[in-house]
Amino acid sequence: MKKSMVLGMVLVLGLTTYSLTQLTEQPSVALAGENKTASANSLQEQLRMLEASIVPQTAEETVQLWAKAVQMRSGALQYALFTEQAKMGAKQSLESFHWVTGASSPWVEGYKIVSGPETAKDKYEVEFELMTSTGKYGTDRAVVGVAKVGNQWFIQSVAPASEKSVGIWNTPESINEPAIEKNFITMKAYNSTIGYHILLPQTVMDKIKVEQSTCKNEEGNPPCVHFSYKDAVANTEVPLGTVIRLSTEQEKLPYYQEHPFIKKIGENKQGTFYAIYPSEHPYAGKEDSAEGKEWLKVLEALQSRIGKSIPTSEK
């Protein structure tokens, strides 16, 4: 009887020990969750500390730093300078564009404060100098409202100074592109008879020859619009690119399905449009010449606009 009791106790102790061993050897799900939460809280705390250390103690320094952030296209730095209420209104848009503001073209070359609180209480007007690859693009202006919290100054509002403002401080979706074309540069249109339309700055169009014909080197000889750079020094025309219009049937041909150089840029009722660009720099060995650099700038301007005038909903 005693032996049975002892054996039973041993078995119970053995099972208990085994169970405890198993539990201690397995990672705790709850503990892992707690560690993740603690890590996230630590990062949030670190971010708050960094943001707090960035905000200046004078209103003008805060506005200057905000303007610098606009030039850097840093939505994260702009956000750090906002009041809590301003952050609530800006966070979703900034997150959707990965905290990047402004545009690749035009970009901010410089900035300056042109007026301060003496003309409007707690408001500053900031002027941004805009540039593109083809040169100066004009200026953009913002009215920046500031507020003092503790011993620091924060941005509480940003608004365009006039209807002509581009809003270069905004995320790309909110930049006023029509204002760019209407107020900052003279635009010139080219309308083909094949349903293709393009709008380019006058300064760029003056350096381009546009010719409509057919692409004899492509299968089916589709209608095309050719763009060439007018080299005034060599008195010649250097290819920039070609827009091809393909029918639905032509698009399905293996030749175009496997074409290595065409890129779709849009479509309308008259067909689908593709662009082809030179595979090599035509000024090879002389890329740094005045003509080589200008050819590249004109090409970049053409590429940035070549598909913007083709509505995709008309087909």
pLDDT, residue 184, reads: 61
Q: Which residue has the higher pLDDT, 308 or 59?
A: 59
Q: How far is CA 188 from the centre of its chain?
A: 25
Q: How far is CA 164 from the centre of its chain?
A: 21
Stated pTM of the model:
0.52
Q: Which residue has the higher pLDDT, 95 or 16?
A: 95
Q: Confidence class of residue 136 from pLDDT cuts 50, 70 and 90?
A: confident
Share above pLDDT 70 across residues of the chain, in percent, rounded to a whole number: 79
Letter for the amino acid at 151? Answer: N
Q: Which of 177, 194, 304 is nearest to 247 (CA)?
A: 194
The answer for residues whose C-beta is within 8 angstroms of residue 119's C-beta and 6 or more apart is 125
Decide if 134 contacts 148 (C-beta within 8 A). Answer: no
What angle is formed at CA 226 by the lines to CA 222 and CA 231, rounded to 5 degrees? 160
Q: Which residues pair with 160 in a beta bridge?
A: 142
Q: Which helix (H) or strand (E) holds 85?
A: helix 84-96
Q: Distance between CA 7 and CA 10 in Å, rounded?
A: 5
Q: Confidence class of residue 20 from pLDDT cuts 50, 70 and 90?
A: very low
Q: Which residue has the higher pLDDT, 69 or 31?
A: 69
